[in-house]
Amino acid sequence: MSLNYNALSSLTRDKFIPVLVDNIFNSNVLAFRLLKNAEKLDGGKKIITPLEYGKNSAQGYYSGYDVLDTTPSDPITSAEWDWKMAYATISISGEDELKNSGDSQVLSLLKSKMRNAEKSLKDMFGNSLFNGDGATAPGTGEITALGGAKYVTGGASPHQSSGVANCIIGEDRSLGGIDSTTYTWWDSVLHTFKDADGTNASTFDEHVTVPTNGGVSAIITDMTKMYGACTIDNDSPDLIVTTQVLMDAYETSLMSNKRFEGAQDLADAGFQTLRFKGATVVVDSHVPAGQMYFLNTKYLDFKVHSKRNFAFEDFQKPVNQDSRVAKIFWMGQLTCTNPRMQGMIVGGTSDY
């Protein structure tokens, strides 16, 4: 049977794309929590998110005929985020078409092509979110990254973070059109892992060591300090994302204590989780070695264009190639309305 590309396009759109999108959403915890529930927008030159950075100064107690302060106060500003676009192509060459004639062969070929596109998109989003080593600004066309710091041996400061633009967790950088060198309330919280002696924790054992006068392991002390630094009243991190090595160090440090499971929705989606205070601890393979992210997802949000939310474009034949090509398009951005409530610890061990 000759290949009918109208039918193939319809089959891809109706059957394969929904599965691909579901698998992308379930590929890592942030895609599951944020990308899956992205707010759909109709357009706009930029994505605008309002920010509440101060208190209303026209307030206070009064009695009787006291004069009330009616001075205009505007504690609201906004961040501006550029749209970012991504794509994946599904190509079938004329040679493959001839070699795979017949319905079953065509479906098998299409499945393999879709798996490849799915893997590419998963890696693209995962790598962009955690941005390599955490000390390089995202590329011009990439979405906002989470972390903008890394441990620097012998550096002037315990972590390198200055000037890493378009990273949500960082200091002295530009993010959403706001320069935190001037507006320090736009900075995040950064710490370095320490061992029981107060120096950098460079080995697995140093993370799990319990000091004789402390009673808890070094990694739990570090996590407790970061959790507290990212907490205001009852507003605390709800998600901690780290490497497998640091997750194992945390679990080891629990010793014989009960291992409380994390959020049920993440467990149901297949993610292995633990609990730390009010946050779920989970592993993501894209997290750079030695790093642990403390996230308050209330202030993190993916925005997507309603017409480019993994939209599928039918197979077409290029004028200069013996092939058929379809495309998957995405357009959106990762935004944050309160970096102050996000933090990361760097300098942890990368092996056992």
Output the pLDDT for position 155.
58
Asked if residue 263 belongs to a domain, the reply is: yes
pTM for the complete prediction? 0.87
Asked if residue 151 belongs to a domain, the reply is: yes
In the chain, count of helices (H) and strands (E)? 9, 18
What CA–CA distance (Å, rounded) separates 159 from 162? 9
Asked if residue 160 belongs to a domain, the reply is: yes
User: For the chain, how many structural domains are there in total?
Assistant: 1
Give the N- to C-terminal CA distance of the chain in Å, as an integer.
Answer: 56
pLDDT per residue as tens, the chain (352 positions): 455 778 889 889 888 999 999 988 888 888 888 888 899 999 899 999 988 655 556 677 778 887 877 666 555 578 999 999 999 999 988 888 787 777 778 788 888 989 999 988 988 888 889 886 667 788 888 999 998 888 877 655 656 666 689 999 999 999 999 999 998 999 999 999 988 888 888 899 999 988 766 678 999 999 999 999 999 999 999 999 999 999 999 999 886 555 556 677 666 656 678 999 999 999 999 999 999 999 999 999 999 999 999 999 999 988 898 988 999 999 999 999 999 999 999 999 999 9
| Range(s) of the domain holding residue 200 | 145-300+338-346
Q: What is the CATH number of the domain that holds 258?
A: 3.30.1930
H-only helix segments in 144-263: 204-208, 218-229, 244-253
- Cβ burial of 268 (10 Å; 0-12, 13-18, 19+) is exposed
Q: Which pair of structure tokens corresponds to residue 204?
A: 């697995």
Asked if residue 74 belongs to a domain, the reply is: no
Please enumerate, as own/partner, the contacts of 195-204 that have beta carbons within 8 Å and a separation of 24 or more: 200/151, 200/153, 200/158, 200/347, 201/347, 201/348, 201/349, 202/349, 203/349, 204/245, 204/248, 204/249, 204/349, 204/351, 204/352
Asked if residue 111 belongs to a domain, the reply is: no
Output the pLDDT for position 1.
43
Asked if residue 192 belongs to a domain, the reply is: yes
Q: Taking Cα atoms as reference points, which of 349, 34, 334, 36 lies closest to residue 169?
A: 334
What CA–CA distance (Å, rounded) separates 186 from 168? 9
Q: Which pair of structure tokens corresponds to residue 244?
A: 């497998």
Output the pLDDT for position 72.
60
Rounded to an integer, what is the distance from CA 217 to the centroid of its chain?
28
Asked if residue 170 belongs to a domain, the reply is: yes
Output the pLDDT for position 214.
66
What CA–CA distance (Å, rounded) separates 345 from 191? 5
Asked if residue 69 belongs to a domain, the reply is: no
